[in-house]
Structure 1
Amino acid sequence: MPKKLVVIGNGMAAGRVLEEIFDRAPDLYEVTIFGAEPRVNYNRIMLSPVLSGEKGYEDIIIHDDAWYEAHGITLNRGKQIVQIDRDAKCVRAADGTTADYDQLLIATGSLPFIVPVPGASLPGVVTYRDLDDVNTMLAAARRGGRAIVIGGGLLGLEAAAGLKAQGMDVTVLHLMSTLMERQLDPSAGYLLGRAMEERGIAVRCNANTRTILGETHVTGVMLDDGTELPADMVVMAVGIRPNAVLAKETGLETNRGVIVGDDMRTSDPNVFAVGECVEHRGTCYGLVAPLYEMAKVVAAQLAGDLTAAYAGSVTATRLKVTGIDLFSAGDFSEASDTQDIVLRDVARGIYKRVVLRNDRIVGVVLYGETADGAWFFDLMRQETDMSDLRDTLIFGQSYGGGAALDPVASVAALPDNAEICGCNGVCKGKIVQTINDKGLSTLADVRAHTKASASCGTCTGLVEQVMALALGDKFSRVATDPMCGCTDFDHDEVRRLIRAAKLTSIPAVMQELGWKTSCGCAKCRPALNYYLLCEWPEEYEDDGRSRYINERVHANIQKDGTYSVVPRMWGGLTNPRELRAIADVAERYNIPTVKVTGGQRIDLLGVRKEDLPAVWADLNQAGMVSGHAYAKGLRTVKTCVGKEWCRFGTQDSTGLGIKIEKFMWGSWTPAKVKMGVSGCPRNCAEATCKDVGVICVDSGFEIHFAGAAGLHIKGTQLLCKVAEEDECIEVIVALTQLYREQGRYLERMYKWADRVGLDAIRAIVVDESEKRRALFERFEISQRRAQVDPWAERAAGRDAHEFNPMANFTLAEAAE
C-alpha cells in the first residue's frame, strides 16, 4: 500500500520534487497537494514575459490538470494550510479540509517585502510575486498612466520593462547608487541603467522613499529629499523573505527560514522543506537553480536514498529583459587578495570582468555579450586553476588555451554536471543522456523531455551545441525549424521578439534580429508582414511587396497567366442584381468560364490581368466586394437554408452565416480559413470538415473547429455548445483571434490546434469569459482597417493603401 505524502505548496520546487520522485519510485506515494493559489503549477520566473505581453499564463504552465490526474495526485487548489499536527501527522486547511501524512513536505516559498512607509497599504500599491500580482498590474496598465517601481533589482527591473511594454510611463527608484548592486559591479550597473533609460524607463538611484501619497488611492511618491513624483500605481519590488510562518507556529526550528540539514529534513525527521522557505547552512536562496538542486535531494531521500545530501549552491544571475544581455556569478567585491581582468568595448556596449583569487575564478560579470557565462560559471564552481589561461581568459572559451575552438568543441570541454539551463536546473549530462535514451533529434523534443531552454530561452544556442555534440552528423539546425535560410530564429521566436522589442517594420525586424540577407526572401517577407500586421494592426502599414501576386491583384492567377475573380456572396446568398452584374461582366470582358464554387459563390475564370481593375469596378457598382478566394484569411461561410425553408432546420443558419461573414470578412489569418453553418445535424453545409463549423440544434449551437477537406481529410473537434447567437459569434471570433495570435504563418487551423492542444484552446476561449472578450475586442480593433474593399475605395476617389491591409496596392500596379 502506498505511503501518504502531503505537500504544502504547489510551486516550482514542490513540482520538481514530485517529478523526481515519480521518476525514481512512481508507485511509492499517494500524493496530496495543498496550494494557496487557485491554479496549477506554473513557472514563476516567467512572470516577466507574461507582464510584458510576450507570453500568456498558458505558456508558463509547468504541470497541467492532465499531469496531476495521470499521477493520481489530489490537488487542493486555493486551500491554505493553517495547522500542522505533528503528533497526529495531519494537516488542516483554512476551509477545514484535512489530510493525514506519513511524510510531509513544506514548500511555502517566500513573501514579498513591503517597505514600511506611510501609504504602503493604499489601493494601487502592488507587490510582484505571483500571477495575481501580474494580473493586477496588467489591469492597471490597461488604463495607462504612470507607474513607479521601488527597487532596482532583478524583479524591479523586469516589472519596469513589462509595464513599459504595456504602455505605461515608468520610473524606477533605487536606494543604492547603481542598479542590481548585489549582482553587478558599478560599471555593469551603470551600463544597465543606461540601457533601461534608452528603453524609455526613467531611473533614479540614491532614491529613498519617504511616503506614498494619496488618500483613497495612490497618487504619487515623496522621496527623502522632498521630491514628489506622480503615480497611478506603485510596485514594491525590494526583495523577498522566506515564508516560514507556518513552520514556526508548528514548533519546527526556524531562523530567517525553515532550518534544514543536508538531508533537507527539518527538526522533525518526518517533515522535509524545500525552496525559498528554507534556510540551509545559514543561507536562504531566491533563485531557481538552488531550489532544483534541493528538490533532487528531497526526492532521493523520500525514495529511500538516505545518502543523498545537499551541500549548498553557487548561483548565477540573468536578467530577463528582452534585448539586455547580462550575466553575473560569485563575488566581485573589491578585496586586497583578488585580481581583476577587465574588457571594455565601448562601441559595442560590451563589458566583461573576471575576478580571480589564487588563480581561481571567484566572480564574473558579463554585460552585452554573455555566451561564455556557462563556461565561466563552471570554471568557478570547479575551482579550476586559471594560471595557463589567464592571458586569454577574458576573451572567453573560444580562445581557451590560446587557440580558437568551435562552439561544439567548447561544449565538449564542459563536464557533465555543467549547468546549461539555469532556469530549470538542467546540466549537460542530463541533456546528452536524454537524447541518447529517447532518441531525440529536435530542439522541441529536448525541451519537452528535459525543460532545457523551455523558459526564458537564452540558453537555446548552448542547448543546440550540446545536441550537436550528442548527435554528431545527425544534428541539423533545420530540425529546429527556422523560418527560412535568412535567419536562425523559428516562427514563434520571431513573433515573440517582434512583440517584446516593439519592432514595427520589416527593416527593424531584420536589423534587430540579425537577418543574414539584406532584404529577406519569398518565405520570410510574407510571414514577417503577417506577424507585424497582426501585432500592430493600428500602426503597421501593410507592405504590398511582401504579398503574393494573388493578394496584390485580388484574384487567383491561373496556369495560362489569366486570373480567376470571385466576388463575395454573403453566406452563399445572392440576388438578381448580383447575378445580372456577374453576367454582364462575363459578356463585357469575354470571360470564357463561369463556374459555381464549392463555397457557394460564382467564379469568373480567364480574366486578363489588364481587365482586372475594370472588372472589379463594374462588380463594385452592383455592391459586390472581393471574396478573398486567394487570401490568407476568411474565405467563405457556407450555409444551408436553415429553418426558414427546410423542414428539418432548427435555427436560422443562413442568417447566422451572413452575420459571421459580414463581421469577419477582410480579416487576415496565418492561412486560409473556411467556415460553415448547418441548420441541423444533417449537416448540409458540411460544417464538420471546416476550419470552423456550426451545427444548429434545438437548444442552440454546437461550435466545431480544426477540420480539413483538402490534401488532408480531418473531421472537426467539438469546442463547445452555446445557447445564443451572439455568444456563438463571440466564441468564433475569439477562437479565430487566438489562432491569429498563436498560429505560425501558413499553418492551417487544424495544425495549430494539434500543436497547442484542445484543452489549452478551450481553457481560454470557452472557460474564461474575460479572456474570450479580450480576444474579441482585439479582433474588432484589427477590423477597423480590414473591412474596406480597395476597388470601391478607388472608385470613390480614396486611396485603398490607407484603408485595407489586405490590398496595399494601386489600380495601376494591379494592371501591370
Structure 2
Amino acid sequence: MKQNLVVIGAGMASGRVLEHLTEAAPDAFDITLFNAEPRGNYNRIMLSPVLSGEKTYDEIVTHDDAWYAERGITCRFGERVLEIDREAKVVVGENGHVPYDKLILGTGSNPFMIPLPGHDLDGVIAYRDLEDTERMMGLGAGHKCVVIGGGLLGLEAAAGMAARGVDVTVVHIMGHLMERQLDEAAGYLLKKSLEDKGITIRLQANSKEILGEDGRVKALLLEDGTELPCDLLVMAVGIRPNVALGQAAGLAVGKGVHVDDQMVTSDADVLAVGECVEHQGAIFGLVAPLYDQAKVAAQTLLGEEAAFVQKSLSTKLKVTGCDLFSAGDFAEGEGREDIVFRDPARGVYKRLVLDGSKLIGAVMYGDTADGNWFFGLIKDGTDIEEMRETLIFGPAYQGGAAVDPLSAVAALPRDAEICGCNGICKGTIVDAISGGATDLGAVKATTKASASCGTCTGLVEQLLQVTLGDAFQMPTAQPVCGCTDLSHEDVRRLIKTKPLQSQEAVWQELGWSTRNGCHVCRPAINFYLLADWPLEYQDDPQSRFINERKHANIQKDGTFSVVPRMWGGITTPDELRAIADAADKYDVPTVKVTGGQRIDLLGVKGEDLPSIWSDLNRAGMVSGHAYSKGLRTVKTCVGTDHCRFGTQDSTGLGIKLEKVLWGSWTPHKLKLAVSGCPRNCAEATCKDIGVVCVDSGYQISIGGAAGMDVKETELLIQVPTEAEAIEVVMAVTQLYREGAKYLDRMYKWMAKVGLDWIKEQIEDPETRQALVARFELSQSIYRKDPWAEHAQDRAETYAPLADLTLEAAE
C-alpha cells in the first residue's frame, strides 16, 4: 500500500530526492509537492546566465509540468504552507490540508538583509530567486544599481546587470573580493577584470544608510559620507536557513533544522534536506553536499541503509567569464611554503600551499583545468615531494615533460572526483560509459556528472574519449535545442545544401522532434532561411522575439521603448520638435539620450505604438531598430567639418554606412562607429565594425565588444577611398550574416573562422563583389521600415521614406 509523502519546497535538494525515489520505487509513495514560488524546480545555479541574457528561464528548468505529471506528483505551486501538525500528521496549506505518513522539509534559506535604515524601501531586494532576477533584468540600460556584497552572488548579480547596460557599483566590506574562496592576489585579478567590464568596485566600504525618496530607494550612504545613487539596491551578503516551519512544529532547531546521518529530524517521520538543515553543527550552501543529502534521504525513505558524511569541498566557480578555483587551506602560516605561477598576458594565476611534503591548499584564477587533480592530492594527503618541481604545471607535466592530456586523465585513480556539484568520481563515470552511456547526454542522464554547473564537461568528454577510443567522436558544437541533435553549423549547412527553403522543410527533412519547433530554434531557423534564401523564403514575424514583433523594446512595467533613427548621430531642429511633440502627446515619462547618439522615448503604452510610429514617420523618421538582431547604430565624431584634427569626413561616411545598412537582419545586434582620426572619439575600436580615418584613407577593423566581454577590434583592411570603405563594410556584414551562428556577436564568429580567413574573402575582389551583390539583393527585398509597415495610414507614412532607398544611399 502506498504511503503519503508530502514535500515542502521545490528546490534543488528536494527535487533530487524526488528523482531518486521515482527512479528506484515509482509506486512507493503518493507524493504532494508544495512550493511558495509559482513554479517547480529549476537550476538556481544558472540564474546568473539568465540575468546576463546567456540563457532563458526555460533552459534552466529541471522539472517541468510534464515531468511531475508523468510521475503522478500532485503539485501545489504558489501555495504557502501555514502549519505542520505533527500530532495529526497533517500539512496545512493556504488552500487546505494534506495528510502525510512521511514528510520532507526542503524550505531552503532566506537571504540575509542587513538591517540598515531604509532596508525596507521599494527597490531594495535580495538575489535568491527568479523574481529577484526578473526585477534586475527589468532595470534597463542607463539605470544605476548598487550591489552590497563582493561574494559570488553579488558579483554575478553585478556582472549580469552590467551586461545589460546598467551602471553597477559593488560595495564590499572586506579588503578583497570573494575572500572566503580567493587569496588577495586572485581577488585583485578578479577586481581588475570586473573593472575592465565597467563595474565599479569599492572595497573596505561600510554601508551606513539606504536613502529614499517617496518610498523608493535613491542612494546608498557610506560611513565616509559618500552617496552612491541607485535605482535598485541588491543585497547579496549571505543566507540563513529557513527554519520557521520546523521551529513552529516543535522540531529540534539550531542554526538549521537538526538532522542525523540519515537526514531524519527529531521526529522520525520528518526528514529535512538542503540549505535549511544543520548536521553535526554545519550548515550547507554548495550544491554538492545537498545532492549527497538528497540521495541519503531517498534511501532512508525506502528503508535502505545510508549515511550522510560531510566531505572536504573544493570551489570551482565562474564569475563573469573568469574561471576561479579554490580548495583546502590557503592561508599563510608558519612552516608553509607557496608555489606561485603568474602569466599576466594570459590573465592566469596559480598558487599552491605546501605543508612539508603535502599539498594543503590551492587557488587558481584564469586556468582551472587541473583543479580537480589538485583537490584529489589535497583530499588524499598525497606525498608530492617527487613531483614538487613540476607540481604547479599539473598532471600533464609529471615526470618533467609534457604528456598527452588524455594520458593524464587516464592516469587518474577511479576515486578521483570529476563532478564536484554531484560528487561523481571517475570510476562511476567510466562504469556508466562501459554500461552504454556513450555520449555526454547519456553520461549526464546516468550519473548527473556535468548536469549542474557544467564546469566539468571537458573532463567528462575526455573520459569518454579515453574509455571508448576511436568509437567516441568529440562533439564540436551543442545542438540547436532539445528538438534536434544537430548543431547550428550542421543545420545551416543542410539548409544551404539540401536545399531547404521553408521552416516546414527543416522540421520534416531534418527530423525535428517537435512539429513546429520551439521558442529556442524557431528564431534561429527563421534567420538562417531569411539570410540564405532571401528570394524564396518569406519572413515569419511569429518566429521572432517579442521586441522584434512589437518593433519596440518591452520594459519591466509592460510599456515600450521607442527609438527613432538618427543617421550617424546627426539630427535637425524639425526632428527634435517631432520627438518633443510625440513625448508630450503620448505622455512619455522618460526621454533619454542613448550611448549610440540617439534619443530613446521610454514608457510608451502598447496601445499608443501605432500612433506614435505614424507621427514620427510623418516627420521623416524611421525605426532605429533598437530592439533588433540587426544594425543598431553608426556612431560618429564630427570629422573634418568641425574638428581641427579630422582627417576625413567621418560624419558623412557614418551617415552613408547607416543608410546602406539600416534594416539589415544579422545573427546578433550590429554596432558600427567611424572616427575621424586616430584619437578615436567615436570609440570605433570597441564596435563590431569600426572605421578609423587616417590621412591615407580608412582603416577598417572588426570584432570589438564593450559589454560583458570587452574586446578591441582587429585590423581587417585599409582602403584609400570612401566608396571602398562602404563596399568592405557591406561585404563583411554579408559574410557574417551567411556564416555566423544565430546569437553570436561578430567577435565570436571571428574567433571560430579566424581573421585570416575573413581577410582572404574581403581582399579577393571577385568574392567581395559577390558578397556586396548578395547583400544588396537581400536589402532590396527585406528592408522595410516596420513603423511605416504597421502604421494606420500606409500611403501617408511610406512617403517620407522615398529618399532612403539603396540607390539614394549610394
Q: If the TM-score is normalised by the length of the shorter chain, which range does it land in?
A: 0.5 to 0.7
Q: 1:292, 1:424 within 8 Å by CA — same for their partners in 2?
A: yes
- Are residues 86 and 774 of structure 1, via their aligned partners in 2, closer, same or farther at CA, if it must alter by over 3 Å? farther
Partner of 1:82: 82
Partner of 1:9: 9
Query: In the alignment, residue 17 of structure 1 is paired with which amino acid?
Result: V
Matched, 1:469 2:452: no
**Which residues of structure 1 form unaligned runs of 5+?**
483-488, 494-522, 528-547, 549-629, 633-669, 675-690, 692-705, 720-734, 750-760, 787-796
Matched residues in 2 for 1:373 and 1:784: separation?
A: 41
Partner of 1:73: 73
Deviations 1:758-793 (A, max 9, x none): xxx99xx9xxx999999999999338869xxxxxxx
Q: 2:9, 2:105 within 8 Å by CA — same for their partners in 1?
A: yes
Matched, 1:739 2:514: no
Q: CA deviation at 1:715?
A: 12
Query: In the alignment, residue 164 of structure 1 is paired with which amino acid?
Result: A
Partner of 1:360: 358
Partner of 1:172: 170
Query: In the alignment, residue 429 of structure 1 is paired with which amino acid?
Result: G
Matched residues in 2 for 1:747 and 1:385: separation?
A: 61
Matched residues in 2 for 1:183 and 1:278: separation?
A: 23
Identity of aligned residues (%): 50
Counterpart pick for 1:343 among 317, 338, 341: 341
Q: CA deviation at 1:70?
A: 1.4
Counterpart pick for 1:325 among 320, 323, 327: 323
Matched residues in 1 for 2:132 and 2:382: separation?
A: 43
- Are residues 194 and 143 of structure 1, via their aligned partners in 2, closer, same or farther at CA, if it must alter by over 3 Å? closer
After superposition, where does 1:246-261 map in structure 2 within 5 Å?
246-261=245-260
**Which residues of structure 2 form unaligned runs of 5+?**
483-487, 533-544, 562-605, 610-623, 633-655, 667-729, 732-767, 777-810
Matched residues in 1 for 2:490 and 2:20: separation?
A: 45
Deviations 1:153-202 (A, max 9, x none): 00000100000011101110000000000111111111111111111111
Q: 1:737, 1:779 within 8 Å by CA — same for their partners in 2?
A: no
Q: 1:491, 1:744 within 8 Å by CA — same for their partners in 2?
A: no
Deviations 1:632-671 (A, max 9, x none): 8xxxxxxxxxxxxxxxxxxxxxxxxxxxxxxxxxxxxx99
| TM-score, L = length of structure 2 | 0.64
Q: 2:274, 2:290 within 8 Å by CA — same for their partners in 1?
A: yes
Counterpart pick for 1:805 among 664, 672, 675: 664
Matched residues in 2 for 1:3 and 1:707: separation?
A: 50
Q: CA deviation at 1:526?
A: 12
- Are residues 246 and 174 of structure 1, via their aligned partners in 2, closer, same or farther at CA, if it must alter by over 3 Å? same
Partner of 1:729: none
Matched residues in 2 for 1:348 and 1:420: separation?
A: 25
SS in 2 for 1:179: coil
Query: In the alignment, residue 628 of structure 2 is paired with which amino acid?
Result: S
Deviations 1:323-353 (A, max 9, x none): 2111112221222253322222233222111
Moved more, 123-132 or 25-34: 25-34
Partner of 1:458: 455
- Are residues 227 and 273 of structure 1, via their aligned partners in 2, closer, same or farther at CA, if it must alter by over 3 Å? same
SS in 2 for 1:23: helix
- Are residues 714 and 466 of structure 1, via their aligned partners in 2, closer, same or farther at CA, if it must alter by over 3 Å? closer
Q: CA deviation at 1:46?
A: 0.5
Query: In the alignment, residue 441 of structure 2 is paired with which amino acid?
Result: A
Q: 2:507, 2:514 within 8 Å by CA — same for their partners in 1?
A: no
Matched, 1:440 2:223: no
Q: CA deviation at 1:115?
A: 0.8
Matched residues in 2 for 1:48 and 1:806: separation?
A: 28
Matched residues in 2 for 1:408 and 1:715: separation?
A: 35
SS in 2 for 1:782: coil
Q: 1:671, 1:745 within 8 Å by CA — same for their partners in 2?
A: no
Matched residues in 2 for 1:227 and 1:385: separation?
A: 52
Counterpart pick for 1:384 among 352, 361, 382: 382
Query: In the alignment, residue 445 of structure 1 is paired with which amino acid?
Result: A
Partner of 1:565: none
Q: 1:707, 1:716 within 8 Å by CA — same for their partners in 2?
A: no
Matched residues in 2 for 1:713 and 1:406: separation?
A: 38
Query: In the alignment, residue 32 of structure 2 is paired with which amino acid?
Result: T
Query: In the alignment, residue 51 of structure 2 is paired with which amino acid?
Result: L
SS in 1 for 2:398: helix
- Are residues 323 and 742 of structure 1, via their aligned partners in 2, closer, same or farther at CA, if it must alter by over 3 Å? farther
Matched residues in 2 for 1:286 and 1:82: separation?
A: 25
Matched residues in 1 for 2:136 and 2:173: separation?
A: 23
Matched residues in 1 for 2:657 and 2:181: separation?
A: 58
Partner of 1:395: 393
Deviations 1:735-772 (A, max 9, x none): 889622588967999xxxxxxxxxxx99xx9xxx9999
Q: CA deviation at 1:104?
A: 1.2
Matched residues in 2 for 1:336 and 1:709: separation?
A: 66
Partner of 1:412: 410
Q: 1:263, 1:298 within 8 Å by CA — same for their partners in 2?
A: yes
- Are residues 31 and 770 of structure 1, via their aligned partners in 2, closer, same or farther at CA, if it must alter by over 3 Å? farther
Deviations 1:203-246 (A, max 9, x none): 00000100111132111111011111111111000011111111
Q: CA deviation at 1:312?
A: 0.6
After superposition, where does 1:525-674 map in structure 2 within 5 Å?
674=502
Matched residues in 2 for 1:467 and 1:258: separation?
A: 41
Count of aligned pairs between the two proteins: 569
Partner of 1:133: 132
- Are residues 256 and 99 of structure 1, via their aligned partners in 2, closer, same or farther at CA, if it must alter by over 3 Å? same
SS in 2 for 1:305: coil
User: Over the residues paired in the alignment, what is the CA RMSD in angstroms?
Assistant: 4.0
Query: In the alignment, residue 395 of structure 2 is paired with which amino acid?
Result: Q
- Are residues 671 and 298 of structure 1, via their aligned partners in 2, closer, same or farther at CA, if it must alter by over 3 Å? farther
Partner of 1:302: 301
- Are residues 8 and 203 of structure 1, via their aligned partners in 2, closer, same or farther at CA, if it must alter by over 3 Å? same
- Are residues 712 and 433 of structure 1, via their aligned partners in 2, closer, same or farther at CA, if it must alter by over 3 Å? closer
Q: 2:500, 2:506 within 8 Å by CA — same for their partners in 1?
A: no
- Are residues 802 and 36 of structure 1, via their aligned partners in 2, closer, same or farther at CA, if it must alter by over 3 Å? same
Partner of 1:209: 207
After superposition, where does 1:220-231 map in structure 2 within 5 Å?
220-231=219-230
Partner of 1:59: 59
- Are residues 715 and 271 of structure 1, via their aligned partners in 2, closer, same or farther at CA, if it must alter by over 3 Å? closer
SS in 1 for 2:434: helix
Partner of 1:27: 27
Q: 1:111, 1:242 within 8 Å by CA — same for their partners in 2?
A: yes
Q: 2:342, 2:349 within 8 Å by CA — same for their partners in 1?
A: yes
Deviations 1:509-556 (A, max 9, x none): xxxxxxxxxxxxxx97997xxxxxxxxxxxxxxxxxxxx9xxxxxxxx
Query: In the alignment, residue 155 of structure 2 is paired with which amino acid?
Result: L
Query: In the alignment, residue 287 of structure 1 is paired with which amino acid?
Result: L
Matched residues in 2 for 1:285 and 1:770: separation?
A: 37
Q: 1:10, 1:34 within 8 Å by CA — same for their partners in 2?
A: yes
Counterpart pick for 2:424 among 426, 432, 444: 426
Q: CA deviation at 1:491?
A: 6.8
SS in 2 for 1:20: helix
Matched residues in 1 for 2:451 and 2:265: separation?
A: 32
Q: CA deviation at 1:709?
A: 9.2
Matched residues in 2 for 1:129 and 1:167: separation?
A: 21
SS in 1 for 2:217: coil
Matched residues in 2 for 1:53 and 1:150: separation?
A: 22
- Are residues 224 and 289 of structure 1, via their aligned partners in 2, closer, same or farther at CA, if it must alter by over 3 Å? same
Q: CA deviation at 1:33?
A: 1.0
Matched residues in 2 for 1:298 and 1:111: separation?
A: 22
Matched residues in 2 for 1:303 and 1:472: separation?
A: 39
Q: 2:327, 2:362 within 8 Å by CA — same for their partners in 1?
A: yes
Q: 1:288, 1:425 within 8 Å by CA — same for their partners in 2?
A: no
Matched residues in 2 for 1:713 and 1:43: separation?
A: 29
Matched residues in 2 for 1:90 and 1:161: separation?
A: 44
Matched residues in 1 for 2:114 and 2:164: separation?
A: 25
Query: In the alignment, residue 144 of structure 2 is paired with which amino acid?
Result: R
Partner of 1:610: none
